[in-house]
Each structure stands twice: as structure tokens, then as C-alpha cells.
Chains A and B, each alone.
Chain A
Amino acid sequence: MQIHALANQKGGCGKTTTAIHLAAALNARGQRTLLVDLDPQAHATLGVGCFVGHGPSLVDVLNGEVPAASALRHLHPGLELLPASLRLAEFEEDAVHALAPERALEQALLPLRDQFDVAILDCPPRADGVLTANALRAATHVMLVVETGAFALQGALRARDIFEALLEDSVEQPSMRVLATMFDRRTRFARDVLVAMHARFGDAMYDTAIRSSVRLREAVASGTPSLWTAPESRSALDFFALADEVLKNSTLQAQ
């Protein structure tokens, strides 16, 4: 199972929207896909129209109280969600007293290896927390999600430094690539920033830049990925292209 962690320490850069739509696009490409919501705000969970209530969620899995399989929520044929709840913040607080708390997710996902082809981890908007550390430990690939704005790029470079620190002791280091999001080519500012990102990150960037779209915002708010309601839309095409790239890169790396 490939595990892609979508991370950046900045909020509002498109991590959750990308996680939801990339998971849906990979699923549409025939991949058995697991979406894991690691954000205590549970936005990815809400963004796919899931309500956790009193049922088991990721925090119960990380605490070892239930196996991951029993916390899964079925979203679509071949697409499952490991949901978050507000209680996930407790895990971050309790981790101070735990032994190797950053390995909990890696251990929890082990039994699901044969059940899924791809897992998408939606990280919380901080790079140095134990939840992000869990995602990085478990991940085979890290996708640094960067909004095409100057401040977001500073955050990305800070996040990169922290990721390097967190991964320092990892035996198998995940590959790290950069995804540009919220790109609006009508503005010169966004075009300039994309060129500068290209100059800075080069081949480490995905070819696909996710364009800003009202449809995407509406889709997340309505709890239904836009790929399901408007598969021919521009935003859907962006995510299908990204999914193809992710699969192609993974195949190349496997070879």
C-alpha cells in the first residue's frame, strides 16, 4: 500500500480539499483508496459528508482501543474513510507521556496493507505536532501542499525543515514532492509565484497545479467531492491529472 501524507504547517492552503479530491480521483482510477483524517478539526471527515457521533474514530485507533478496520466508514465502492473527531486533540496532549507516540498510525495501518492500494493522509495544519509526525512515519510519499502565495511558501520551507528533523531517524525515508494549489492564472501575482516555485523546487514539483475553483469550495462545503457531481469540470480534470501523476511516479519508483 502506498501511503501519501499531505502536509504543510499553514492552514487554508488546500490540504483537505486536495486530500478529499485526490482520494476520489484515485478511487475513480480503480484504486482501492483509504482517506485518513488526521486533523482534530475533522474537516476531511465533514468534507465527505461523514458524521462521527459516538462511533469509533481515529483517536480510538491511535490509542489502541479499536482496530483500524472497525473504525472505517464506507464512502463509495473502493473508498473508505478513517474519520477524525474533536477528541483527536487529546491524543496530541497525551502523547507527551506516551512511548514512541509517533509510531501509532504506522502500527494501526499495518493490518490494512492488503485491503487498500493507496492511503491518503490529511495532516493537521502544523508541522511539528505528534499527529503530523505519525503521518510522516507512516508515509511512503510526502506531498507538501503549497498555495501559490508568498507567505505560504515561507511556511513550506519551514515545514520542510521540520519534516527533515522528524524523519531524521527513519529507516525508510519517504520521497517528498511539492504540489501547487489555489492557482489562478488570471492574476500576475499567482503566475509569478508559480514561476518562482518552479525555480525553487524544480523537478520536485508535480506537473499539475491545482487551479482555484469555486466548485471545489462548494463541493467540500456540501460534503460531496466535485469529481462525483461534475467529472468533466476543470477542477475534476486537475485532480484526475494529479492522480495519474501520483500513480505514474509510484510505478516509476517501484521499478
Chain B
Amino acid sequence: MDALALLCNLHGDGPVTLTALRDLGCEDLVGLEALGESLLGDILGRDERGVQRFRREARLLGERLDGESRTDAPAPIAVIAPQPPPVASPEPEPEPPQVAAADRGPVVSAVLDLWRQFDHPVEPTSVSNVLAEVTLSGLKPDDVVALARVGVRTLEELAEADLLSLTEGSGLPYTHVAHLAFLARKLCDRKREEAPLVPAPATATVGSEKGAKRSLEGHTEDGPAGPFA
């Protein structure tokens, strides 16, 4: 979603306004300034005052997005394009900067804080590799017992284990085991990056060549795979 689409969703008639503006060759917030009052009024179906309010919202939105892009907010996720298009700076209107800051509101701040927690979760303080002592999202005490029954007691063993064997042996659902193994691989990779001189971990009790290969190659060289990577 670009800034113009966001503006049309927030203060216009959504896709109707967006399509009309784009049909006129207006592709961004700056392009709005080039449109005449009456033309913009026709598109929006508003009088002169409504048009001025729309232009003002466009300027404030530009400042707000520009300000947020300079904060330490997590980088937007790119799927098709690697980065979101830069939001064009609005004309240097003598708008007081505190207006944009106040407009940000506590809700946005709270939501962005939550997202930061997801993007940068608190690292487990324990340096232990024993499953019973590590913090792994979704790993319950019963799971630890079930995994220990088939000889999987450490992060490395879980990361390199053959998932089908592990599922059959432990009685845990396949998807749950796969999720835990994924988290274990991530933690192992992170530990290896932090301490590159530490000798390689022991091999898994329940493991396979495929799992070991994936663990070693899939992450250490190219980083985590995935559509958001």
C-alpha cells in the first residue's frame, strides 16, 4: 500500500478515489498539489472546504509517515518490492511539527511497541542447551518428557532430528514437532553466530542426514528462508 492509497482509504472513498486520482496521473501525495481545487472537489464529491481538509490531511500524513520512517520502527516487510516506496516529503508548509507527533496517538505507539517485541523477542538468559531449561515458544513440560523418551534432550538434537521418526516416537503432532524443530534450529544458528569458535554440537540421537544438512546449510549461509526473508 503506498501513501496515496493509504490517504484514500483514510480520508476518501477508498478504491473509488484512488482509481480516479490515478486515472488523472496522480501517483503520490505530491501529485495532489498539482490538481486544481475544482477537479479534486469533483473527484471527492466535496466542496472547497472539504478539498482543503483533504489536502491538509495529505500533508499531515506525509509528515507522519516521514517521521515514522526515521524512527527505530522495524523495517517494513517487502514481498514484491524490496523496500516500500519512499514517501515524498510534502511542501515545506509552516505546519507546527508537534501536530504530526500528537496525531500519532497512543494506539499506534502501543501497536508498534508490540511489533518490536515480536521482531526482537527477549533472548533467553539461560545458556543451557538442555530442552528442560531453555525457553522455546510452545514447548510444554509434557513435550520435554515425550521428547526425552525418544532420546531428544538438547536443542541440537531437536534441531537435527528426523521429524517423522520423532512424531511417531513421541506421539506429538507432526506440525507441533516441526514448529519446535524450526525454533530449535533458529536458536542453534543464533548461538553459532554468537560463538563461532565453539566446537560443533553433538549429533542427534534421533536424526537424519537430511535434517542435519538442512540445519547446517539452510541457515548458516543464506539466513532463514521464507517469503518475508
The answer to whether A202 touches B108, judged by C-beta atoms less than 8 angstroms apart, is no
Main secondary structure of the interface of A (DSSP, over half): helix
Instruction: Report B167-206 CB contacts with A as 1/0, cut-off 8 Å.
Output: 1000001111011001100000000000000000000000
The answer to whether B1 touches A207, judged by C-beta atoms less than 8 angstroms apart, is yes
Q: A128-B176, A154-B118 are in contact. Are A199 and B78 (CB under 8 A)?
A: no
Partner of B227, one of A163, A169, A194: A163
The answer to whether B79 touches A203, judged by C-beta atoms less than 8 angstroms apart, is yes
* Chain A residues whose CB sits within 8 angstroms of the CB of B110 once the complex forms: 150
B: contact size bracket:
35 or more
- Interface members, chain B 47-104 (any A CB < 8 Å): 61, 64-65, 68-69, 73-74, 76-81, 83-85
The answer to whether B73 touches A185, judged by C-beta atoms less than 8 angstroms apart, is no
Partner of B1, one of A154, A163, A173, A205: A205
Partner of B6, one of A130, A178, A198: A198
Instruction: Report A198-236 CB contacts with B as 1/0, cut-off 8 Å.
Output: 111111111111010000000000000000000000100
A: contact size bracket:
35 or more
**How far is the CB of A21 from the nearest CB of chain B, in Å?**
14
**How far is the CB of A229 from the nearest CB of chain B, in Å?**
20
Closest to A99 in B: B164
- Interface residues of chain A, those whose CB is within 8 Å of chain B, are 95-96, 99, 101, 128-130, 133, 142, 150, 153-154, 157-158, 160-169, 173-178, 180, 183, 185, 188-189, 191-196, 198-209, 211, 234, 237-238, 240-241, 249, 252-253
- Interface residues of chain B, those whose CB is within 8 Å of chain A, are 1-3, 5-6, 9-11, 13-16, 18-19, 61, 64-65, 68-69, 73-74, 76-81, 83-85, 105, 107-108, 110-112, 114-115, 118-119, 164, 167, 173-176, 178-179, 182-183, 214, 218, 224-229
Q: Given contacts A166-B175, A202-B84, list 12 more A-B pairs with CB under 8 A.
A: A96-B167, A150-B111, A154-B114, A168-B226, A169-B214, A176-B227, A180-B9, A192-B111, A200-B74, A203-B80, A203-B83, A203-B85
